[in-house]
Amino acid sequence: MTTYEVNFDGLIGPTHHYGGLSHGNLASVGHRHAISSPRSAALQGLAKMMRVADLGIPQAFLPPQRRPDLAFLEVQGFSGSPAERISATGQQRPDLLSIAYSASAMWTANAATVSPSSDCEDGRVHFTPANLQTMPHRALEARQTTKTLRTIFHDKNHFVVHEPVTAGVETSDEGAANHTRLCRSYGGPGVEIFVYGREQDDHHQTQRFPVRQTRAASEAIATSHMLNPQRCVFARQHPDAIDAGVFHNDVISVGNQSFHLVHEFAFADQDRVLAEISDTFGPGLQQIVVTDQELSLPDAVQSYFFNSQLITTGSNQMLLLCPIECSENAAANRLVASLLKADNPIYDCQFVDLRESMQNGGGPACLRLRVVLTEEERAVLPPSVFITQRQYRQLCDWVKRHYRSQLTVDDLADPRLIDEVAIAMQELDEMLGF
């Protein structure tokens, strides 16, 4: 039976803007209140999806979430009609308006943690939507994500969509951005690596930036996904990396099948962690450690090299899909050239322009949720979530008709935006048929 890795990218929503909302994410804070282009952002994201689909790799998407989140504004004390709530919040608390309008659900690597059926004892694909509780704008996503995943992965014979891990100080969870699965082939058993930044009674705190993933959440997910504990590795993120702006593990390491590319400061106690991963995997794993000399932590964060997608295009053949910023960073450029020459599965590197998302700290890998599916599992999904030439054209056309080419944080107080977005979303719902 053929098994695929399907990327579910986040379709970038019409309210994409630069709120400067993510402390510890240097790009987000650095572009605070810059002018965004929701239209370019969405078209860039769609072009990336089509590029992957053109390689013959199944590509799907998750729709944008409903914004503004009026219920959130109500909880903050702003009541009345939608337009009244927006205008009062805009005048008194523009920071809350930015949260209510955030399009951050585009970064679907944070939507959920996913374990393929071949790893789970009950033979079903397990999803746990991330609670994203560390950042208020991201915490709004969990409820809608759960609903969307339950709609798309509705067949209970094949899929389980759990509730997000219950919110609590020690259970903050950011999904697949802190989870890597290595395997010999997608359909075979995998090693699931859960990366966390904090555990209970921790004495190794970061100095500057918040830690977003807790060990307790990762453990709860491994248990509810019915994974074999012998095939799971729990690794702690290096606190220096977090303090350098590596707020998720997918900004400092990337793995695919039997190839694992990591920065030397990806994990605390790195030698032990890599040995444990290798022992758990057994023979055939290739681990490449990129030294800080080759690519310093600031260069890794600036170029987002590790946020590239490693895409299998043939037997032990992988394409590296890098953010275009890597081509503009001398050290990242040298690293790509040397990886292309060395003995490893990467045979080609392509650059992709995702600048609108990148300026909020979201590269190619942030924009996609990897879901390994058998042919049978894939066959029960709604066809409208897959990117075909036709669907791509329709979505581009929809974006061009409904999205603004520019958006500032002040524009969020414009009551017309509420209706514009509602009309766009209604049309998308009709297009998707669910």
Task: Judge whether 64 and 13 are in contact, CB under 8 Å.
Answer: yes
By the 8 A CB rule, do 238 and 265 touch? yes
Q: How far is the CB of 271 from ligand SUG (least distance, A)?
A: 25
User: Is 369 in a helix, a strand, or coil?
Assistant: strand
Nearer to ligand SUG by Cβ, of 247 and 305: the residue is: 247
Stretch that binds ligand SUG, among 22-30, 58-66, 228-236, 414-422 (CB under 6 A): 22-30
**Which token pair is 189?**
């058993």
Of 71-79, 190-198, 273-281, 355-363, the window that binds ligand SUG (rule: CB under 6 A) is 355-363
Interface residue with ligand SUG among 44, 360, 374, 391 (CB under 6 A) is: 360
Active site residue 263: no
Establish whether 120 is a catalytic residue: no
- Told to check if 242 binds ligand SUG by CB under 6 A, we report no
**Among 70, 97, 109, 324, contact with ligand SUG (rule: CB under 6 A):** 109
Separation CA 105–CA 109 (nearest Å): 9
* Strand (E) or helix (H) holding 150: helix 141-152
177 binds ligand SUG (CB under 6 A): yes
Helix, strand, or coil here: 434?
coil
Give the whole-angstrom CA distance, residue 300 versus residue 126: 32
Q: Give the binding range for ligand SUG (CB under 6 A) out of 6-14, 70-78, 107-115, 165-173.
A: 107-115
CB proximity list for 166: less than 8 A, separation 6 or greater: 131
Q: Using CA atoms, how far apart are residues 14 and 296, in angstroms rounded to an integer?
A: 35
Residues 6 or more apart whose Cβ sits within 8 Å of residue 23: 29, 135, 209, 210
Classify residue 433 as exposed, middle or buried by CB count within 10 Å of its CB (0-12, 13-18, 19+): exposed
Among 3, 7, 22, 213, binds ligand SUG (CB under 6 A): 22
- Determine if 138 is a binding residue for ligand SUG (CB under 6 A): yes
- Is 232 annotated as catalytic? no
Interaction between residue 319 and ligand SUG (CB under 6 A): no
Candidate list 90, 245, 345, 362; residue touching ligand SUG; CB under 6 A: 362
Q: Fill in the DSSP letter of residue 214.
A: B
Judged by CB under 6 A, does residue 361 bind ligand SUG? yes
Residues serving a catalytic function are: 174, 248, 366
Binding residues vs ligand SUG (CB under 6 A): 18-22, 25, 28, 102, 104, 107, 109-110, 135, 138, 177, 247-248, 250-251, 360-362, 366
